[in-house]
Amino acid sequence: MTKETAYAVEVDRLTKRYGDLPAVDDISFTVRKGEVFAFLGPNGAGKTTTVEIIETIRPPTSGKVNLLGMDVTKKKHDIVHRIGVLPQGFSSFDRITVRETLLYYARLFSVKTDIDGLIELVNLRDKTKEQYRNLSGGLKQRLGIAIALVNNPEVVFLDEPTTGLDPRARHEVWEVLLGLKKKGKTVFLTTHYMEEAELLADTVAIISKGKVIAMGTPGELIERNANYLSLTLKPIDEKVFEIVRKMGFGPVLDNHKNIKVRVEHTYDVQKILNAIKDAGALYLGLDVRKPNLEEVFLKLTGEALREDPDEMETE
Ligand SMILES: Nc1ncnc2c1ncn2[C@@H]1O[C@H](COP(=O)(O)OP(=O)(O)OP(=O)(O)O)[C@@H](O)[C@H]1O
Ligand SMILES: [Mg+2]
């Protein structure tokens, strides 16, 4: 029996060991149906291992994983029809065209697929007769996403779909992912790119050394872990730096002679600007910015490394 659940994925105390290495170390999290969930973590963090356990491909060492209410170790045949997978470092048949490739994968699943609809969804209309080997990196990844969708799955797993792509190709893949969300698919995205997670994900889980070290909406993660503002001043007067330093804010100069100051409140920004004005000094421009997910990620993964005594010795 499959139980009805609001969750596409439920991971409970999952561990995967390779010899002495806990590649995934006692992690728990859930993914809601219809959300874009981003798994963010450095190389070797355990992202692919976790994802491939959820996809029924690797067996867990311990813990429990349910996909759409089904135990991934017991319901492999039922699960495979309801998920789509783009593996990390995906590749396909070199001399087979886009359309032939999709027809082939649809046949593998013995399903009737709206191939044209799929081609439309991943925006490969002009490339249907192109062989795989002649596609650019971004087009290859979009074909990979289309392959993951041939069985009209409810949950789609994409392991680093934009790694190695140039910015435009990356944006084009993002468009496709937003299209999937619009269609109500649950998307489980693995990525190294913060801006990708920040832009696309409803929920982000940061994984480091086999542990989930933070989870929440991008906004929540930023609010919780980086509650400060970054003020940048483009000064005309050299004395601006001294004024800010004397106020005790610890300014630094960047490569372009801009002054960077980290403050806690907008009130501090006002105080700094008033002090500059009172001193009769001038500045050309200013920018006040909230930290982004990248800063949170660097802070949290940095802390996780420092907490690890083995890592300290090798530093
Ligand atoms: N089949 C395997 N046998 C032995 N060790 C493995 C195996 N698969 C993964 N590992 C190890 O487990 C750890 C986690 O690997 P995993 O591929 O899950 O990380 P990842 O977060 O996906 O990294 P990347 O960002 O580089 O893809 C790594 O130390 C890796 O070397
Ligand atoms: Mg990986």
| pLDDT surpasses 90 at 109 | no
pLDDT in tens, 228-277: 899 999 988 889 999 999 999 999 999 888 999 999 999 999 999 999 99
Query: What are the residue ranges spanned by the domains of the chain?
Result: 7-223, 227-289
47 lines ligand 1 (CB under 6 A): yes
Eight-class DSSP state of 127: G
Q: Closest Cα partner for 149 from 52, 82, 90, 92? A: 82
**Ligand in closest contact with the CA of 41:** 1
Q: Whose CA is nearest to atom 30 of ligand 1?
A: 44
Residue 111's pLDDT is: 82
72 lines ligand 1 (CB under 6 A): no
Strands, E assignment, 119-249:
155-159, 186-191, 203-208, 211-216, 229-235
pLDDT tier at 192, thresholds 50, 70, 90: confident
Residue scoring higher pLDDT (315 or 100): 100
pLDDT tier at 291, thresholds 50, 70, 90: confident
pLDDT tier at 54, thresholds 50, 70, 90: very high
Q: For domain 7-223, is the CATH number 3.40.50.300? A: yes
206 lines ligand 1 (CB under 6 A): no
pLDDT in tens, 3-24: 678 899 999 999 999 999 999 9
| pLDDT surpasses 60 at 2 | no
Q: Whose CA is nearest to atom 9 of ligand 1?
A: 49
**Ligand in closest contact with the CA of 58:** 1
44 lines ligand 1 (CB under 6 A): yes
Q: Which residues surround ligand 2, an ion (CB under 5 A)?
A: 47-48, 88
Measured from the Cα of 51, ligand 1's closest atom is: 18
Residue 315's pLDDT is: 36
| pLDDT surpasses 80 at 1 | no
Percent over 70 (pLDDT), the chain: 95
| pLDDT surpasses 90 at 130 | yes
Mean pLDDT across 138-152 = 94
pLDDT in tens, 61-74: 999 999 999 999 99
| pLDDT surpasses 50 at 314 | no
pLDDT tier at 110, thresholds 50, 70, 90: confident
Out of 114-128, 184-198, 265-279, 292-306, pick the least confident.
292-306
Q: In sequence order, what are the residues at sequence separation of 6 or more whose Cβ sits closer than 8 angstroms to the Cβ of residue 7?
A: 30, 31, 32, 33, 66, 69
23 lines ligand 1 (CB under 6 A): yes
In the CATH hierarchy, which top-level class contains the domain 227-289? alpha beta
Q: How far apart are the first and last CA of the chain?
A: 51
Residue 308's pLDDT is: 61
**Measured between alpha carbons, how far is 69 from 66 in angstroms, rounded to an integer?**
5
49 lines ligand 1 (CB under 6 A): yes
What would the two tokens of residue 165 be?
Answer: 């792509």
Q: Give the number of other CB atoms < 10 A from CB of residue 74.
A: 11
- One fold for 7-223 and 227-289: no
Residue 23's pLDDT is: 97
Percent over 90 (pLDDT), the chain: 76
Ligand 1 pocket test, pick from 15, 47, 49 with the greatest ligand atom count within 8 Å of Cβ, gives 49
On average, the pLDDT of the chain sits at 91
| pLDDT surpasses 60 at 55 | yes
